[in-house]
A and B are shown apart, each in its own frame.
Chain A
Amino acid sequence: DAGVTQSPTHLIKTRGQQVTLRCSPKSGHDTVSWYQQALGQGPQFIFQYYEEEERQRGNFPDRFSGHQFPNYSSELNVNALLLGDSALYLCASSLKGQGPYEQYFGPGTRLTVT
């Protein structure tokens, strides 16, 4: 049973550039959520995708956007990168309609902005 996978594992970008991170959910899951985790802090919710639409969004600017594909995989795009965007980006998958909505996390993409 394949778990959540993410790519790439590490990424180094320069301020002002754009980045795309990818996520494949756990087999059988249909919902993907993205989180940003800065060093020493708990993950912060960015947004959630279900049925190829953004369903919920956390307190993140429009520079953060996403997409979900028909096979449930998802992308996170960040434009105009800032130094403060350096963090671990985590993708989590779950199955909508099956409380208590346990989420399973991928290994994350560590983004460094210089």
Chain B
Amino acid sequence: RKEVEQDPGPFNVPEGATVAFNCTYSNSASQSFFWYRQDCRKEPKLLMSVYSSGNEDGRFTAQLNRASQYISLLIRDSKLSDSATYLCVVDNYGQNFVFGPGTRLSVLP
């Protein structure tokens, strides 16, 4: 089993739709969690850290369930500019990042 798994995708959604990405991780010792987005042939960019109580940043909401070892990302009112690959990342005290394979999102006009 891979250490971090994500929805295989791709997700093709119309503008204005709400889309949810799911991620599971196998290492119960993982302490920090993040969502990164990566545009084609570019570097990953930090979208948001994920906190135990859940957190929101504008149209983006992240949730963490430590008991189920599950992380989610919800995007509301999708924009064309949200088209990218979304990477789920888990980390153990800054020792190393473990990336999921990514889920590709295409927002269609």
Which residues of B (2-59) have their CB < 8 Å from a CB of A? 4, 31-34, 41-46, 49
Whether A99 contacts B93 in the complex (CB less than 8 A), given A41-B101, A105-B45, comes out as: yes
Taking chain B's interface residues, is the majority helix, strand, or loop, or is none over half, making it mixed?
Answer: strand
Contact A102 B102 (CB under 8 A): no
- Closest CB-CB distance, B93 to chain A, in whole Å? 7
A41 — nearest CB in chain B belongs to which residue?
A: B101
Contact A44 B94 (CB under 8 A): no
Q: Within 8 Å CB of A55, what residues of B?
A: 95
- Closest CB-CB distance, B64 to chain A, in whole Å? 12
Contact A42 B99 (CB under 8 A): yes
Inter-chain CA distance A102–B96, complex, in Å, is: 11
Q: Which of A61-69, A74-82, A89-97 contacts B (4 or more CB under 8 A)?
A: A89-97
A58 — nearest CB in chain B belongs to which residue?
A: B96
Whether A107 contacts B42 in the complex (CB less than 8 A), given A41-B101, A48-B96, A102-B49, comes out as: yes
B100 — nearest CB in chain A belongs to which residue?
A: A42
Inter-chain CA distance A41–B32, complex, in Å, is: 21
Q: Within 8 Å CB of B34, what residues of A?
A: 100, 102
- Closest CB-CB distance, B17 to chain A, in whole Å? 25
Is A20 at the interface (CB under 8 A from chain B)? no
Q: Within 8 Å CB of A112, what residues of B?
A: none
> Could you list which residues of chain A lie within 8 angstroms of chain B, going by C-beta atoms?
31, 33, 35, 41-45, 48, 55-56, 58, 88, 90, 92, 94, 96, 99-108
Closest 10 pairs between A and B when the two form their complex, measured CB to CB: A101-B94, A42-B99, A100-B32, A105-B43, A45-B96, A42-B101, A56-B95, A56-B96, A43-B99, A105-B44
